[in-house]
């Protein structure tokens, strides 16, 4: 690098809908958030525990260019409570029902992942 040449960092690409969440300082290369990320909105697949942002950053100095990849992992916090899909559920029980007769209720869901999304039931 020649003494008067400055470095310039820019995003070449950011995966999916993440572009609006990240900024890169052109002079320092520091990546910062422009707003909070709601993990459950941007990584919607219930089976996917991992939520990654794939980024390509270009570093320019004069006519030279280097590209490197940055993989950012969006970790989950337990910010959703379990909830039933309906507010109430009606069950009819005959007085002749035997002890041990069981009844099902709708499955509750928790939008969080892994242990943060576990649901338990208690009377
Ligand atoms: Ca939760
Ligand atoms: Ca969460």
Share of the chain above pLDDT 70, in %: 93
Burial, 55: exposed, middle or buried (Cβ in 10 Å; 0-12, 13-18, 19+)? Answer: buried
CA of 37 to the centre of ligand 1 (A): 16
Q: Can you give the pLDDT at residue 50?
A: 81
Mean pLDDT of 105-113: 93
Query: What does the alpha-carbon distance between residue 29 and residue 33 come to, in Å, rounded to a whole number?
Result: 13
Model confidence, pTM: 0.73
Mean pLDDT computed over every residue of the chain = 90
**Could you tell me the residue ranges of all domains in the chain?**
7-73
Q: Which of 119, 107, 41 is nearest to 82 (CA)?
A: 119
CA of 82 to the centre of ligand 1 (A): 6
Element (H, E) at 52: strand 52-61
CATH architecture of 7-73: Sandwich (2.60)
CA of 5 to the centre of ligand 1 (A): 50
Query: What does the alpha-carbon distance between residue 115 and residue 47 come to, in Å, rounded to a whole number?
Result: 13
Low-confidence winner among 25-39, 45-59, 69-83, 92-106 (lowest mean pLDDT): 45-59
């Amino acid at each position: 690098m020649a003494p008067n040449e400055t470095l310039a960092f820019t995003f070449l690409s950011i995966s999916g809908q993440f572009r609006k969440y990240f900024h890169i300082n052109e002079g320092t290369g520091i990546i910062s958030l422009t707003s909070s990320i709601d993990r459950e909105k941007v990584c919607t697949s219930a089976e996917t525990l991992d939520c990654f942002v794939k980024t390509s950053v270009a570093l320019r100095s004069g006519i030279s260019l280097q590209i490197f990849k940055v993989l950012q992992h969006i970790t989950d916090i337990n910010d959703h409570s379990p909830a039933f899909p309906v507010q109430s559920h009606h069950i009819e029980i005959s007085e002749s029902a035997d002890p041990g007769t069981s009844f099902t209720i709708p499955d509750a869901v928790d939008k969080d992942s892994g242990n943060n999304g576990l649901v338990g039931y208690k009377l």
